[in-house]
Amino acid sequence: MRFHHHLIETVTPCVDHGRYPAKRIVGEQCVVEADVFRDGHQVVCAAVRWRRARDRSFVEAPMQPLTNDRWRGQFPLDENTRYVFTVVAWTDPYASWLVDFRKWVEGGRRDIGSELLEGIALLKTIRRRAGAGDERGAVDEFLARLDGEQDGPAALAIFSDPKLCELAARLASRVDATTYAPLLEVVADRPRARCSAWYEMFPRSQGRAPGRGATLREAAARLVDIQAMGFDVVYLAPIHPIGQAFRKGSNNSPDADGDSPGSPWAIGSAAGGHTAIEPVLGGLEDFDYFVAEANGLGMEVALDFALQCSPDHPWISEHPEWFYHRPDGSIRYAENPPKEYQDIYPLNFDSPDREAMFKAIREILRFWIGHGVKIFRVDNPHTKPVDFWAWLIGDIQAAHPEVIFLAEAFTRPRMMQALAKAGFTQSYTYFTWRNSKAELTEYLTEMTQTSMREYFRPNFFTNTPDILMPILQQGGAPAFKMRLLLAATLSPAYGIYSGYELCENEALPGTEDYRNSEKYEIRVRDWSRPGNIKGFIATINQIRRDNAALQQFDNLRFLTTDNDQIMLYVKATDDLRNVIMVAVNLDPFSTHECTAFVAPEAVGVSAGEAYFVTDLLTGNRYRWAERNYVRLDPHTAPAHLFLVSREL
């Protein structure tokens, strides 16, 4: 029976003991840490071994000891792909012997003959492991210098020569090596997976004629305006054919008139299903034109991926076994009591024919990837099995690692986290419902300071077609500015639903639902009407692009103020070359003031050292220290967005 001397514990990054991959960005170093130790007092060595998941051979890099048996190493994430890695530990016999030999010599022991012989024997073993040539010749030189040497200090100097120690460490036998299991995985996503600004739109509502839906070519005319606001992802509500059966009318009325365009989420008609285009929007050539125009402006198109069907979807007749059936034989429509969605049939993921259904779903994604789509916003993923998403996302990304999946799952926290672990690149969050300083601090601390940081990438949407929060309904333009600034500076990924720039805030009484929602009707807007905040949005997005600190997430640190209506936080790059500090008035109705307490190390200065801050929203400059006065009027400036500098 062979016993292992070495113990390797608490390896990071690691999600659920290696069951799921950690998330990183291509071009970064994957920093690996582990507790590595062994019985006795011998010298331990450790290394991180890694490879691309598709490769067979590993590459190795040394790990360095930190404190208390904690070790750290790293490896480069040079490619947008999946990597696997592990940690290996072994004993260095030469270094272990040298530690004791040094103690004997420096302790004054005169009889060191036996220890000298032991050291020379180790060098001869190293020589046998050396390749013919320079390595073996170098060892021979040291052996020659030790021949006949009996003086302890002189021998110690030879044995301690850095060149010899490096050779001994590199050529050491690893007969007692221990390798951590299981292999751990990390996904290296492209940069837009972490940092992106999303703009959600209904293409049919981008026209100028009331009551007539715009085509995709007409909708493409709005891309210049969206790009000017600084967005880099244009997310389209479903563009597929809309069913006629049980078509909903204005404000989700079950009594639709003949002019109702229907909900885009009621997917499927005689014109086709999930790989077809709603005829009002045009055809595939029009979609390809829209994608090309967006790409030409430096933006990407994200598609809504909603796995549900209208009663008119071709799958209803072709694959009735893919749906839930009531005892009377009818297909069950979607329900979320007390709401009913007669125009939508959910898929049955326990269908006896589910394997064929899963392959058909995969083909939908492959089809749109073939038309230039690299980002999918997935509708209600929490109503489907988590293992299904792990399979589907893994399968798609094996061939197309650049594809990004955003989970729209406003559900229980554990399920939201499970979906992120299973492979979703980004996730919707509860940010929309977090308004107070305590709520925001607690929620963001959980995401940035716990294990969630390894796998959960939030996308802070300020609003959605389904969610118009009371603070936006009541707070006017100051609330819209404040919430956008929070979303855009707290998280590197955020989004707005179109109309936000116009501060649209009319809701059905007592609800979070928009009045006259464009989910059920075609809207026509004046995108430059007075009172819009397009310039403010463009400024915020430009600041995000110019400051690397705002393109990261887990570098967030909250600071202290003596007013609960003013939140203060800082983000900084690791080298402290870019430090951004944000003070926000969370009350859109009233002016507030406070004393802001800034820990010197948070902004990269020494205790007692003054520094300068420039408000990137106004250009004003201030001299700051550890205690600072802040006054914010939401009607003139809801926040300070400071760039920190030591120089005036």
CA-CA-CA-CA dihedral for 271, 276, 280, 284, to nearest 10: -130
Active-site hit among 379, 501, 504, 518? 379
Active-site hit among 185, 200, 408, 521? 408
82 and 395 in contact (C-beta within 8 Å)?
no
SS3 at position 148:
coil
End-to-end CA distance of the chain: 69
How many angstroms separate the CA atoms of 343 and 211, rounded? 21
Lookup result for tokens 């979906």: 419
Two structure tokens written together for 230: 């600084």
The three state secondary structure string of 564-632 is CCEEEEEEECCCCCCEEEEEEECCCCCCEEEEEECCHHHHCCCCCCCEEEEECCCCCEEEECCEEEEEE
How many angstroms separate the CA atoms of 127 and 124, rounded? 5
Can you give the length of the chain in residues?
A: 648
Q: Rg of the chain over CA atoms, in angstroms?
A: 31
Identity of residue 613: V
Query: What residues form DSSP beta bridges with 425?
Result: none
Name the residue among 577, 569, 582, 566 with its Cα closest to residue 615: 582
Two structure tokens written together for 18: 């290696």
How many angstroms separate the CA atoms of 61 and 244, rounded? 61
DSSP 269: B
626 is catalytic: no
Residue 70, classified by CB atoms within 10 Å of its CB into exposed (0-12), middle (13-18) or buried (19+), is middle
Long-range CB pairs of 568-571 (<8 Å, 24+ gap) are 568/596, 568/598, 568/630, 569/490, 570/598, 570/602, 570/603, 570/644, 571/489
How many angstroms separate the CA atoms of 264 and 310, rounded? 10
Identity of residue 540: I
379 is catalytic: yes
How many angstroms separate the CA atoms of 644 and 604, rounded? 9
CA angle 494, 639, 473 (to 5 degrees): 65
Identity of residue 11: V
Cα 568 to its chain centre, rounded Å, is 23
> Which residues are designated catalytic?
379, 408
